[in-house]
């Protein structure tokens, strides 16, 4: 389970670095 959690965290880190737009990212957080 820890490995899956780490993968998920890495995916989020990559996703955040790709967007680089905090407002857009916050909007996604509110939507989901």
pTM above 0.75, yes or no: no
The whole-number pLDDT of residue 32 equals 62
The whole-number pLDDT of residue 1 equals 56
User: What is the span of the domain harbouring residue 22?
Assistant: 2-31
**Averaged pLDDT in 10-residue chunks for the chain of 32 residues:** 72 74 73 67
Helix (H, G, I), strand (E, B) or coil at 20: coil
Distance (Å, rounded) from C-alpha 4 to C-alpha 31? 24
Whether 10 contacts 2, CB under 8 Å: no
The number of folded domains in the chain is 1
């Amino acid at each position: 389970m820890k490995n899956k959690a780490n993968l998920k965290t890495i995916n989020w880190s990559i996703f955040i670095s790709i967007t680089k737009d905090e407002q857009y990212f916050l909007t996604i957080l509110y939507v989901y």
